[in-house]
Amino acid sequence: MNNTLKVGDKASLTKAFSEEEVFRFAEISTDKNPLHLDKDFGRASIFGRRIVHGMLVASLFSGLIGMELPGEGSIYLGQSLSFKAPVAIGEPVTASVEIIHVRDDKPIVTLRTMCTNSEGTVVIDGEAVVKVKK
């Protein structure tokens, strides 16, 4: 396995999802929930505005894992997600992944996956389990 990976290794990225990206994701994923697409529906919701699909925000973890840490050749085995706060369209969020466990017996690592908004509020929390390229 990749012996250079160790507990505490981190990667992160910041992104804001545009209205156009939310609409395109709704088309691809079939998730056309009006909470994401309809201004009036969003305004009348408990969030007071349209919000970005939670699974789209969570996809930032997938990108970090597949491209940065552990990076190319990683196989995604599992992901838990706790959606803690809404993300508004156009609001920058920072997704981060951090290795919290490296197995001795198999090339498998666990990462804490967290996404925060610009105020530091955690919007998504969870863990990923990833098989690492040998």
Give the binding site for its own copies (CB under 8 A).
Answer: 13, 15, 17, 21, 24-25, 28-35, 45-46, 53-56, 58-63, 66-67, 72-83
For 74, counting Cβ atoms within 10 Å of its Cβ (0-12 exposed, 13-18 middle, 19+ buried), the class is buried
Which of 1, 25 has the CB closer to its own copies?
25
Q: How far is CA 35 from the centre of its chain?
A: 19
CB of 57 to its own copies, least distance (A): 9
Which of 28, 105 has the CB closer to its own copies?
28
**d(C-alpha 114, C-alpha 11), whole Å:** 11
Selection from 83, 86, 79 nearest residue 112 by Cα: 79
CB of 80 to its own copies, least distance (A): 5
Which of 32, 106 has the CB closer to its own copies?
32
Which of 5, 129 has the CB closer to its own copies?
129
CB of 61 to its own copies, least distance (A): 8
Are 52 and 88 a contacting pair, CB within 8 Å? yes
CB of 81 to its own copies, least distance (A): 5
**d(C-alpha 26, C-alpha 37), whole Å:** 8
